[in-house]
Structure 1
Amino acid sequence: MTRSGPFGSSARSLDGEEVSALFCGSRAEILAELDCLTWQREMLPDGTIRYPWISDKTARTLGFAREILTVTADGALGGIHWADRDTYLAAIRESARTLTPCRLDFRVITASDETRWLRESSRPRRAADGRIVWDGGWLDNTRQVRAEFHHQTLMDHAQDCIFILSNDDRVTWCNSAARRSFGLGPDEGPGLPFADLIEPGAPSPVALAAADPDAPDRPIENEMMGRRRDGSRFPFDMTVSELRSDGRLSLIVIGRDITRRRDAERKLAESERRLRLTFVTAALGIVVVTMDGTIRFCNPAFESMANDGESSLLGTNLRSFIPDELLPPPSRIPPAGMSFALLCSPRLADGVERHWRMTGTRYPAAPDEPEPSLLFFIEDVTEPTRIVHERRQLELLLNEGQKLEALGRLAGGIAHELNNMLGPILMGAEMIARTATLDERNAERCGRIIDAAKNSRDIVRNVLAYCRKESKILQPVDLVRVFDDFTAMAASTLPPSIKVERRREIDSATIIGDAGQLQQVLLNLVNNARDAMEGHGTLTLSLIALDPAALAALIAAGRDRRSETNSADPPLNPLSTLSPTAHYVKISIADTGSGMDAATVARIFDPFFTTKPVGQGTGLGLSVVQNLIKGMGGVVSVESDPGAGSIFRVVLPIAETEMAVATI
């Protein structure tokens, strides 16, 4: 590149007179005052291009003084970007050939190596000597070109579809995203009716804007189905804004394909539906509470478990059902991802005892909640707990049966020794009674010794039979005689501080049973009464008959007494198992001792259950009594209150032979 002068290798500097010859004074002044780089260019008949004159504003625009501007050999200014030189020269030659104005944009490299855009506007004329002369200017268009470039880049890379519509709903411009979404080609879009891009019958953007009175002030939102050129449809969410420029109305439509969003919403709705269905239909109680126990959500299963059916549980505190000592304080609740479990007996409005297994988990709070919440899964384990309790009871009964079996083997081992001790006593007493001369008082004492020895022998045999589950041959027994003999013996053997009252309202009563077992039953009951009174009090022994009416009254009294107790499931009244049409006799043993509470009464006949201190009772006495009476077809019941004494009732059926004789 030659830098011999501002006009190229063949150019020379012009003085003021020569410039004035080329331009008229007024015209040159006007061009010099324009805010652009003005110049004059000429093409010689041989095709050489040169610039006779360039304004002095080149330093401000290009950073070069006009004196050092150069022209290449082919006629291009040295500052023009190399990539635009051929286009630039071709446009100049075409303008010279056709004598039409030359208008083009090109890039130049400034003195600071900055690329700038210039816009040329020039008009050619042919001189008399055959030269083509252009008078023109270069306007610095860099800011506009860069703005257009940034705008086009933004539009081409925008993910939203952008349309500019005329007031008749035709597309005047659209970006690349719009072409991709609607399947338009590179040259499609402008001039296309927007109705071709949406489903038939959908309101057009112009109609939407006309129908909304606030349209000029705010965008209009609408959702419709878009149509691609291949006929496929997709949900299209758009906003329509009005734009007025130069008195003309245009619409800007910005939208996007929301197929993925709709799929995500559908999946989210389906997931929420499944979650809600699980929440509603779950057999377990599900409850969400705050850290202090306030119920925020609960499912129908928990409502049926804990609610009385009249009020909602929302807003109530879980601690109103669960004892405070069972629920851990917030400081001891494990962090999120860990759970804790507890078993409890809730306090419910119906008062029925139930058992719950609760599994709790802390989970993080929602963005609008200041603290985390607790999620509880609650299982009603009342029935499994009852089954476990019954199994334990069966295991206990099995253990007690094993104890009885062991006791039976022990009783079998000591029966011989007891008989050996009772034999000499009984034999000696009988020999004294037969051979010795005794007064009436000693003879009576000797008879009591004989009776006591026989009773002891029978008791040992009965205990042995009970432990070994041996059957006993029952025979008719005169109950009145057994009662009289026992009450006489009890009155003489009990301490004087215990007053014995005897009441017998019948003269005869025959039962099918065993006299020895009856003696053992009465002896056990009297001994228990004596221990309950601690050696002081009144023991009442009575024998009466029970016809069906009296039995019904006795059963009703027991039922009323059971209804007054606080127990949710009181024990069955044994008198209710008797036949309401049969005749019975009742032996009552009443004491004025300390009495028993309802819990003790419920277990009084259980094997090995005793209220006596360790070493003073085996807990077999009343269990033996119950089994012996049951073996004779009767029942034994107890009525007691703390501080009011106890009444044991032994009810036995009257033998049918006696009933037949009484009927005759």
Structure 2
Amino acid sequence: MIVAGSAAAVPADDVDAPSPFPPVSLDLLADLGGIAWRRHMTADGIVSYPWMSANTAGILGYPPDQMAVNAKGALSIVHWADRDAHVAAIRASAAAMEPCAEQFRAITAAGETRWFQGTSRPRRLAGGGIAWDGLWLDNTPRMRAEVQLQMLMDHAEDCIFILGEDRITWSNAAAERNFGYLAEELTGRPFNELIDPPRQPGFDDADLAANHGGNAEITARRRDGTSFPFEMTVSEVRSDGKLSLIVIGRDITLRRTAEKRLEESEKRLRVAFAAASLGIVVVAPDGTIQFYNPAFETMAGSDYDTLLGVSLFRFVPNLVMPPLSAPPPLGLSCCVVCHPNLPDGAERHWRLTITQFSTDLDTDSHSVLCFIEDITEATQATRERRQLESMLHEGQKLEALGRLAGGIAHELNNMLGPILMGAEMVARSVALDRKNAERVQRIIDAAKNSRDIVRNVLAYCRKEQKEAGAIDLVPVFESFVGLATSTLPPTIRIQHGRNVDRAVAVANAGQIQQVLLNLANNARDAMDGAGTLVLALNQLSPLELAALSRQIHSVAASGDEAVVNPLAILDPDREHVEIKVGDTGSGMSRSVIAKIFDPFFTTKPVGQGTGLGLSVVQGIVANMGGAIAVDSAIGAGTTFHVILPLLHQEGAETGP
């Protein structure tokens, strides 16, 4: 610490005398970043600074003659938060004529905050005033380091104590939080009072020093008397011949709780492994058994001594382990079914679920976990169970479909009623030309057909027989051609034709419309909104039916699996009528064709298809005594053939 110059350097009655410091001292002071000054306080308490060293401007940015003093006696460059304390220290020094400890923050002309520290000694002047000659050293680097260190200590998660002479001399904020004391309450307190139960007086810094360089775990006690496990590291620090200890520790309650839970979990896992009905085996990458449970021992028909260290390939010689990777893929496993080689030669079926896992993250060591299930009995009963499940599943689907159709019928009838009523009212009460009258009639026909379609779906799902009679299919076909022409987008060209003027069959007009509507919608979707829709109504002689049947069967039998010709159920000696719906879309593969009539099967994206359409179509056609077949190939489009027995009946209904 640099102290002000001797009082003898300046006469007591001359406060305006030049610098009290030799030039050499001022040069040294400038090199140290310090400021020399003289302060004067009059008998009535007015403070002034008649002289400051020339380097003031270089340090603070203000020349000495611009260093203003406020009414309380504080320099304007002193930080506002430190002014009262600085003035109080000056006045206390004047009152007691004791040295004044100068410590404050200053704001430079550039707005920078800097710390200054120094000491000055007061002397009385002849006129009753007091003068101080002193130095302020720029202490900014050290103070900033102390602030940063304090911030680091206060934000540390670990508790930090500095001990000297068996007592705490300093502690950080984490120590306050963990132990429940304020910093001033911890300072001066023996460290052994923080240990539960409190150590005897003989426990002092020497006991802590014995743990220097290592970890120690104690039971610590908070201010409220509660205790917690505390892990700490003790280090020695010697300064000016005095020994201090630095204790860094942390509350490890969460760790101990986690360790206890882990231990309990491992215990439960061991019990579960032992009680598991599945065989559980841990094997090395080369197949050597490292661990197994009693269930696997029973399945393998051997004892412990012969299994541990034995290769799993002894029981499953054709097993292929998954390739090892580091780290192993999370949650990735494979499942295989095999026939094990057992000592008793019995034929069994095992299902192995194999998962790779890391046994040591540091060395990338891996093992393979195998869950083994004996599925012999399940395999033997597979065919019967699948049959029963299939029957039950289909029944549940149809039951659900019936409930769904009931709701649909109710809602659609509510919407179709006003449409049908309005269209019929227009037809009766408004004079229309022929073209518009036809359009209104199409609306009426479409509304009636839609109403009948809903009823037909409900009837089909509930296995109710819908009333059918002898009707002429030509008007029904022509009506649908008109409906399709007016509703399908113009990008779809409709090509239609028929080779018969009258085609009587036992059918229901609404159901026929439903079949045509479903097939046309599927064709539209298959063509992605652009292409040619082919609609045809043809009378088939027995020879023509036989040729079509051979064509359908030839295409269907080209796949890998044998298929049944859907037209084989028809009477080969009878004339039939064919309703054909074709498209120029992308076509279907053999595997898709094999499933298109299955309930709930659909090739449309999720949310765009229910898989009910073609299943319903097949049911309607079958109830009419007919059959439906499909002719399709990838890239060649699709054609559906609806074949119904033909009647020769003069009094047939004409349909819509």
Task: Report the TM-score, using the length of structure 1 for normalisation.
Answer: 0.49
RCO higher in structure (CA 8 A, sep ≥6)? 2
Q: Choose 1 or 2 for highest CA Rg.
A: 1
Task: Report the TM-score, using the length of structure 2 for normalisation.
Answer: 0.49
